[in-house]
Structure 1
Amino acid sequence: MARRLRPGALCILRLTAHAALAAPLALLLWRWAAMVLGTDPRQAGLSAEPVAYTINYLGLWALRWMWAALAVTPLRRLTGRTDLAVLRRPLGLWSFAYATLHFGVYFGLDQLGSFTQVWRDVTEHKFTFFGMAALILLVPLAATSTHGAIRKLGARRWQRLHRLAYPTALLIAVHFILRVKGFQWEPWIYAGIAGALLAMRIRTGPSRP
């Protein structure tokens, strides 16, 4: 039998989830505030290259929350806790938020707001191409995450659209693998986790809104 929390407990779960998902961003802002106020970037926790560190930090948390969102449905089915489904939307939206900030810092501080430089980067570097493609696919997923969008699209069309999460996760994994210099285990571990999660979701069928 499926187990569910009471409405009040579900509300607390949502609020706790949002607070936890925002925590890495709050920590990053605190580090930047410390640096702006005169603390050495390395002592503030931003490394010797604060912009590069921030881009990588935001991208990694976008990936982590995306992976966590993909894990909700398999975990819900394994445990019988249908109330875990309430975590999927916050995880997806915060993943999009971190990904958008990841791009924003890259565009505004690394490329100095130059569309020409960004286009050159996309065409010359594969990891940038895959990352940009993933961000583009995240847009319709985030835009249709509301209850109103689900009602307008209908459950079946919504499910088909949100299968974009599968290629998006693959693009993110490839982006991370190509982004690092030389061979490193971390991006491959994340890629393996993504592959396992996607295999579980495909095997058990798409999630419900």
Structure 2
Amino acid sequence: MRRALSAALLHHAAKPVAFLLCLAPLGWLVYAAVTNQLGANPAEALIRGLGDWALRGLWLTLTITPLRELTGLAALARFRRMLGVFTFVYASLHLLAYGWLDMGLDLAEIAADIPKRPFILMGFTAWVLMLPLAATSFNRAIKALGARRWQALHKAVYGVAVIALLHFIWMRAGKSDFAEPAIYGVLLAGLLGWRVWKRWRAKRGRLG
């Protein structure tokens, strides 16, 4: 079973298929917007839909490494960078949709709104922290930084996830709807716990 999955992940068509799957939610949102299928408040639905997919992409990106190590499917690493870039794309479109559909691209009004509302501030902070990660998601950047510094920089993705989760929690607080943020929180706690356990085990191995 593992051999078959590994072969499928290494197949030359695997990356194009993954690319199309990452693009599919955006295609659906655009189609739904054009055909008036986003409900009574299409602007809000589009903004939130893009944000939801940014969160899902971020959590999937974080899941790649533990899943690869737990399953032994090393080929999963081929898709981590693509998922990370798509996460940034969805986060950027989420920010753009907010600036355009909510604020009419009024930069002065946007600048005033960001510090005024905590959930907007958290979302914008998460996006700013993602910028250097997206900008260095290329082979040339890895060579320029060196593998160790590149890996250290990209560990900041966990900080991005915590801030993005705060953005989501505060956004849902207005309606006292914490069920979905709780699911994301439990998943993130598990991912962070796995990293702590892995580091503790490695340290214990060196001492032993």
Same fold (TM > 0.5): yes
Stretch of structure 1 that moved more, 126-135 or 13-22 = 13-22
TM-aligned CA distance change 1:161 to 1:8, over 3 Å: closer
Q: Distance in 2 between matches of 1:18 and 1:202?
A: 31
- Cα offset for 1:126? 0.5
Contact persistence 1:73–1:201 (CA under 8 A): no
Contact persistence 1:51–1:109 (CA under 8 A): yes
Q: Distance in 1 between matches of 2:8 and 2:138?
A: 19
Matched, 1:197 2:198: no
Aligned to 1:9: 10
**Aligned-partner SS, 2:120:** helix
Relative contact order: is structure 1 or structure 2 higher (C-alpha 8 Å, sep ≥ 6)? 1
Aligned to 1:84: 76
User: Matched residue pairs, number?
Assistant: 195
Contact persistence 2:9–2:75 (CA under 8 A): no
Aligned to 2:108: 116
Q: Distance in 1 between matches of 2:24 and 2:196?
A: 31
TM-aligned CA distance change 1:7 to 1:157, over 3 Å: farther
Q: Deviations over 1:68-88 (max 9, x none)?
A: 000000000001111100110
- Cα offset for 1:192? 1.5
Matched, 1:74 2:70: no
Which segments of 5 or more consecutive residues in structure 2 lack a partner in the other structure?
200-208
Aligned to 1:20: 21
Matched, 1:30 2:31: yes
Aligned pairs for 1:59-208 within 5 A:
59-180=51-172, 181-204=175-198
Aligned to 2:206: none
Q: Distance in 2 between matches of 1:153 and 1:10?
A: 30
Aligned to 2:204: none
**Aligned-partner SS, 2:15:** helix
How big is the alpha-carbon RMSD for the aligned residues of Structure 1 and Structure 2? Answer: 1.9
Which segments of 5 or more consecutive residues in structure 1 lack a partner in the other structure?
36-43
Q: Which residue, out of 41, 50, 64, partners 1:58?
A: 50
Q: Deviations over 1:31-85 (max 9, x none)?
A: 12213xxxxxxxx2x0101111111000000000100000000000001111100
Identity of aligned residues (%): 38
Q: Deviations over 1:146-190 (max 9, x none)?
A: 111111111000011001101100000000000012142111111
- Cα offset for 1:202? 4.1
TM-aligned CA distance change 1:84 to 1:118, over 3 Å: same
- Cα offset for 1:5? 4.3
State TM-score, norm by structure 2. Answer: 0.88
Stretch of structure 1 that moved more, 48-57 or 180-189 = 180-189
State TM-score, norm by structure 1. Answer: 0.88
Contact persistence 1:10–1:83 (CA under 8 A): no
